[in-house]
Amino acid sequence: MELTIKKRFPLLDLIRGIAVIFMIIFHSTFDLKMLKFISHSSLSESYWFYFPRLIVCMFLFCVGASLSITHKNKFKLAAFSKRLLLIGFWAIIISIATYILFPKYWIKFGMLHIVATSSLLSIPFIKRPFISLFVSIIILLLFFIIIPNKITFPPEEWAPNSFDYIPIYPWFSAVLLGIFWEHLGFFKIKISVHSRKLKFIQFLGRHSLLIYILHQPFLYGTLYAALYILTLIK
């Protein structure tokens, strides 16, 4: 999700925009599966496992980069607090809405929850890129090598069957990597954007929070309406 940045960084908007497109594609197929338009086996197990994890990684990487861009010279408490409250508010709304509509699968700790939490956890790291990199590597080593049974926090058992579960450990590592890469000047790389398609992708990246909030109600609502119409026709 994007954070408040007065000066735009085209490469960051582009990466986030690509993540938005990937998210819409994945959630479209997920909704088609939920409503039984397609079966789980219509796409490979690798798609269901790796694709959403790539999307999460891209978004959280951009969160770290955005925090660094906005606050590395001077921590802007007012802007940070305003954004945190906005994201936290929508995280709570999504939890309440999914609990009412899908009590078995409701979202306890999803994308917006981890964005809000990791934003707070990132404060000590924003001006310390090499410590960010070190901690990120430690987290990844612990998760993939040292403790191979893949313990997470919050634990997966805490949110069984949830539509969206993204634990702080190990995913906070992606945010820390974003902070590190921004300090290297990665997002200052100038890219020439003349294509309408690229400009559109950047537009999606600039408005990723709004799209995140609205896209699933639109996708699921449209497909549910289509299913209802098809049921009536039959």
177-216 confidence digits (pLDDT tens): 999 999 998 877 777 667 788 889 999 999 999 999 999 9
| pTM exceeding 0.85 | yes
CA angle 214, 206, 111 (to 5 degrees): 50
* Per-residue model confidence as pLDDT tens digits over 61-94: 999 999 999 998 899 999 999 999 999 999 999 9
CA angle 111, 10, 165 (to 5 degrees): 10
3-state helix, strand, coil in the chain (%, to 5): 75, 0, 25
% the chain with pLDDT above 70: 94
Q: Which residues of 170-199 are buried (b: 16+ CB within 10 A; e: fewer)?
A: bbbbbbbbbbbbbbeeebeeeeeeeeeebe
